[in-house]
Amino acid sequence: MSTSQNPSMSSAWTEDQAISKLKFLRLLAHWHWTLIIGTAMSAIIAVLLVLGPWIAPHDPAAQSLLKRLKPPSATYWLGTDELGRDLLSRILTGGQFAVAISALTLLLCVVIGLAVGMMSARAGGWLDELMMRIVDLILSFPDVIVAMFMVAIFGSGYVTLIVSLTVVGWAPFARLARSLTLTINTREYVAAAEVLGCRPSFILFRHVLPNILRPVAAITFLRFGHKLITVGGLSYLGLGVQPPHADWALMMASSQNYFDRVPLLIIAPGLAIFLTALSVTWLGQGLEKWHRH
């Protein structure tokens, strides 16, 4: 018994496939090259950071003065440092703490900034004016100066580092969230929700927050590179990640006296910081341009 396919159904199926392909091609056209490269680089670096302790060819903390300052070889692909530790293994395991601290700090900044910015815009009046003056005051202080001040008072440590960077880091997100919320407040669906008597908290979470997440996410990725470099700078000064943990900035600080003999000791961790910050920055730039489309 033979079955014949309905020509109209076949035509409709072909048309649906063509529409799906067209939508996919349009989506790819909106993907800027920075988004594609940034996503690929960020994914590779993330995998290396997660698997670093397991794929490192040697123990990153193992010392041997007999093997100090060895050049690159088949055994030590990037050579060894001033204490005989494998440089490649320390590169693979040296970014976890800095990246984790940067990501956690950035997450706290986004949450606090969104809450303050949205509530300030919805409240308006003197409260909005007061919050924006506080934001202006916080933005006038550099991250590193505030972190050094707090470390001098409370001592070095991960909690102090995260708190100090969060204290000054939420302000840009608060200003952005306020600006976006003020724009959304003029939309008809927000006015309709107000007429229906919806609570301000419902309006913020149902109508405002979903519409500002995309631009905030793009700015978040753009700010990650700044946070990573700030954490690295503090670690370089001895105020961030502490020994015996392997850290890219600490590696640069401890090897600066050997730069003329083995420049790779500073170039390799410096390049790791640069590529990590660059990849996430490109990802943020790509998301920002994608959002504009």
Is the full-model pTM beyond 0.85? no
pLDDT at position 112? 95
CATH number of the domain that residue 173 is part of = 1.10.3720.10
Q: Per-10-residue mean pLDDT for the chain, 293 residues long? A: 50 57 57 80 94 91 89 91 92 91 94 92 87 90 84 82 90 92 83 79 82 87 90 85 83 89 92 94 82 62
- d(Cα 235, Cα 5) in Å, to the nearest integer? 69
DSSP state of 3: -
- In a domain, residue 118? The reply is yes
Q: Dihedrals φ, ψ of 74, to 5°?
A: -65, -30
**Residue-number span of the structural domain to which 213 is assigned:** 37-58+85-292
pLDDT at position 1? 47
Contact 84, 255 (CB under 8 A): no
Q: Dihedrals φ, ψ of 58, to 5°?
A: -140, 165
CB burial class (10 A; 0-12, 13-18, 19+) of residue 144? middle
- In a domain, residue 67? The reply is no
- In a domain, residue 75? The reply is no
Distances (CA, A) of 230 to 129, 173, 239: 30, 17, 11
- In a domain, residue 281? The reply is yes
Contact 250, 235 (CB under 8 A): yes
- Residue found under tokens 């990849």: 279
Asked if the bond preceding 142 is cis, omega within 30° of 0, the reply is no
pLDDT at position 117? 92
- In a domain, residue 69? The reply is no
- d(Cα 38, Cα 103) in Å, to the nearest integer? 17
- d(Cα 132, Cα 156) in Å, to the nearest integer? 31
Count of the separate structural domains present in the chain: 1
pLDDT at position 78? 92
pLDDT at position 240? 78
pLDDT at position 18? 59
- In a domain, residue 71? The reply is no
Distances (CA, A) of 153 to 89, 144, 214, 238: 35, 14, 38, 15
pLDDT at position 114? 93
- In a domain, residue 164? The reply is yes
